[in-house]
Amino acid sequence: MFLSDSKGISKILGIGIVAVVLVAAGLIYYTQSMGAEQPATITAGGASFPYPLISKWVSEYNKLHPAVQITYQSVGSGAGQNGLFAKTFDFAGSDAPLKDSQMEQNPGILHIPETGGGIVVAYNIPNIGSGMNLTADVIAKIFQGNITKWNAPEIAAINPALTLPDLNIVVIRRSDSSGTTNGFTSYLKNASSVWILGSGTTVNWPVGIGASGNSGVASTLQQTPGGVGYLEFFYAKNNSIPFAKVMNRNGQFVEPTLTSISGALGAAAPLLSSDVRASVVNMPGDGVYPISVFTYILVYKDLSYMPEAKAKAVANFLWWIIHDGQSYSESLLYPRLPSSVVTVAEANLKQLTYNGRPLL
C-alpha cells in the first residue's frame, strides 16, 4: 500500500517536472523567435520552371527564419499572375514579363529577375551525340516544316564533321501553354527572318506532335528516332538527352552550359536597367548562349494592403534570394545571377514600400 502510493506520487512528480521543463523550453524558444522576427505566412505561386529552385530557397530560408512560413504553388505563370492581381498570392513567379495591357490594368507591379534558364534544342538521331551545330534560320525552318530530313544540305553545310542520316525530322513541341515555348519562339522571332509563327506561350504549329510539359517532350523525343524538340536546359542535362550548339550573335556555335547561359543573362543587364521587361534573347557577346531567358518574381510595389510583418518578410525573403539564395542555383542546374543583374534587381526591390516608407 505504502509502496504503491509512493510510486504514484513519484510518477505524478515526474510528469510535473517534464511538463514544466517543456513549457519553459517552449517559452524560451518562443520569446527568442519573437525577438528575432514576427511570424508571417506568405503564400505565393506561379511558374513551374523555377519551382525546384524556389522550393530549395523556401526550405533554406525557413531554417534561418523559422517564424516565416512560405508556400509556393507551382500552378503556371498565367495562374500566378492572376493570383497576384487578385492578391491571393503575395508574390508570383512568371516566366514571361507582364504585357503592356496587363501593366495598365494592374499598375504598380515590380519585376524582379530571380534566375534564368537556357532552352536547348534536343534531338534523337541514332549515333549522333550532343553538339550538332544549328543556326536560328535552320532551327526556324526545322520547326516550321521547311526542312524535313536530317541530311538536308542546310544542316550538313554547318556540320561538316558529322555523317547525317537520311532520316525524317519529327518535330516535338509543347502542347500546353508554356514559358519555355514563349522563350523559344521569342528567340526565333528575334534571331531569324524566316520565322513566321510569331512568339507566345502557344503558337499555331504547322507540323509535328505536341506533348505536355518538359517530361512529355523528353519521353516522346526519347522514343522517336529523328525527333527534335526544345527543352529546359536542366531537364535535358538531367536526362542525358543530346542537344545542339546554337550560333550566337557573334557568329560562334555555343554549347549551352551554366556559364554560357549566365553570360547571356549578364550581357542583358544594361537592357534590364532601362526596362526590366526587355526581351533578352539573342544577346551579343563572346561565348553567350543565345536562347537564354529570365524568370521573374512579380510583386506589388506598395505592400500596405498586407500586415506589416508579412510585408517585411516578403521584402526580406526576396532580398535574400537575389543574394545568398543564388549560391543554391548551380547545384540545381540554374544559372547564378551575374552581379550586374543583381544590381538591377536590388534597385527594383528598393522600391518596395509600406505606408509610404521603404521596406529595404
Partner 1 sequence: MNKKSIFFKDSAFKYLVGGSSLIVVAFFVMIFVMLAVRSYPSMANDPLMIFGSTWDVNSGLYGGIPAILGTLASSAIAVALAVPISLGMSVFFTEYAPRRVRAALSIVIDMLATIPSVIFGIWGLWIVAPLVKTYVQDPIVGSIGFIPLFSGPAYGLSLFLASLVLTFMIVPIISSLTISLLSTTPVELREAMISLGATRWEVVRHVALPFSKLGIFASIILALGRALGETMAVTMVIGNSFIWPFSSISLFSPASTITSKIASELYEAVDVLHVSSLVELGLILLVITLLVNSSARLVITRISRRNASG
Residues within window 94-133 making contact with partner 1, judged by CB under 8 A: 99, 102
Per-residue binder mask for partner 1 (CB under 8 A), 53-82, x = binder = ----------------------xxxxx-x-
Q: Which of 37, 60, 154, 176 binds partner 1 (CB under 8 A)?
A: 176
Count residues near partner 1 (CB under 8 A). 35
- Among 16, 26, 108, 206, the residue binding partner 1 under the rule CB under 8 A is 206
Residue among 69, 130, 224, 343 that touches partner 1 (CB under 8 A): 224
CB of 205 or CB of 233, closer to partner 1? 205
Give the 3-state secondary structure percentages of the chain, helix then strand then coil, rounded to 5.
45, 20, 35
* Cβ closest to partner 1, residue 128 vs residue 209: 209
* DSSP-assigned beta bridge partners for residue 246: 134, 254
| Least separation in angstroms between CB 68 and partner 1 | 28
27-54 core/surface letters (b: 16 or more CB in 10 A; e: else): eeeeeeeeeebeebebebbbbbbbbebb
Amino acid at 72: Y
Stretch that binds partner 1, among 57-65, 172-180, 303-311, 334-342 (CB under 8 A): 172-180
- The C-alpha atoms of residue 196 and residue 57 are separated, in whole angstroms, by 39
Are 44 and 91 in contact by the 8 Å Cβ rule? The answer is yes
Smallest distance, partner 1 to C-beta of residue 304, A = 27
* Residue 88 Cβ vs partner 1, minimum distance, rounded to whole Å: 15
Which residue from 170, 241, 291, 315 is in contact with partner 1, where contact means CB under 8 A? 170
- Asked if 284 and 250 touch (Cβ cutoff 8 Å), the reply is yes
In angstroms, rounded to a whole number, what is the distance separating the alpha carbons of residues 71 and 44? 6
Specify the residue, 199 or 260, whose C-beta has the smaller distance to partner 1: 199
DSSP per-residue letters across 185-241: HHHHHHH-SS--S--SSS---SSSEEESHHHHHHHHHHT-TTEEEEEEHHHHHHTT-
CB 81, min distance to partner 1, A: 7
Q: Fill in the amino acid letter for 133.
A: N
CB within 8 Å of 256: residues ≥ 6 apart: 118, 120, 233, 243, 245, 246, 289, 291
Judged by CB under 8 A, does residue 192 bind partner 1? Answer: no
Which is closer to partner 1, CB of 77 or CB of 214? Answer: 77
Binding residues for partner 1, rule: CB under 8 A, are: 75-79, 81, 99, 102, 168, 170, 175-178, 197-212, 216, 219-220, 223-224
